[in-house]
Amino acid sequence: MLLENCHLFSGLSSSRLDRIRALAEEKSVTKGELLYREEATAGSIFLLKKGAVELWSQMDERIELPVTIVREGGRCFGTAALVAPYRYTLTAKCAEDALLLAIPAEGLFRLMEEDRELGCVVMGNLASHFLSRLKETREELKIHFRTLFRSIQF
């Protein structure tokens, strides 16, 4: 039931979901474990089955800040593996012992190449996923701006 809950695969038939499921590998990670670093070569996307994974952004050489925590089953991360230059844009660390599905980008690209209907749906969902993240990040910028603006005014 996990792939059905993932926004990236929304709108796909059950036979297409089965083809994606056949690519996936289960992966156990323990609290504190590093999954991948920002800027590292991105080979797989991940779906959370259970537990929690926190995504971090490197602010400067010394400071990392948390961006979001992934807790809901079926939520995906590491999706930059599907877009050139195929590098993760955040760091992922296991926040609570977790079970993941890792889907190799290479296998997913092959499926999308063979089955353009599947490719069109997944790429459309991916565009929507990045646009949502972009809107959230712009909202954060607005909050920073308002805070700064108020601190200047008073």
Q: Which of 83/99 has CB closer to a copy of itself?
A: 83
| Both structure tokens of 143 | 């909050």
Give the Cα separation of 79 and 48 in Å (integer).
13
Neighbours of 111 (CB within 10 A): 17
Q: How far is CA 77 from the centre of its chain?
A: 2
Q: Which is nearer to a copy of itself, 1 or 143 (CB)?
A: 143
Inter-residue contact 74 to 101 (CB < 8 Å): no
In degrees and rounded to multiples of 5, residue 90 shows phi and psi of: -135, 170
Q: Which of residues 89-118 bind a copy of itself (CB under 8 A)?
A: 89, 112, 116-117
- The residue among 1 and 141 lying less far from a copy of itself, judged by its C-beta, is 141
Contacts of a copy of itself in 19-78 (CB under 8 A): 57, 59-60, 63, 65
Residues in contact with a copy of itself by the rule CB under 8 A = 57, 59-60, 63, 65, 80, 82-84, 89, 112, 116-117, 119-120, 123-124, 126-131, 133-135, 137-138, 140-142, 144-146, 148-149
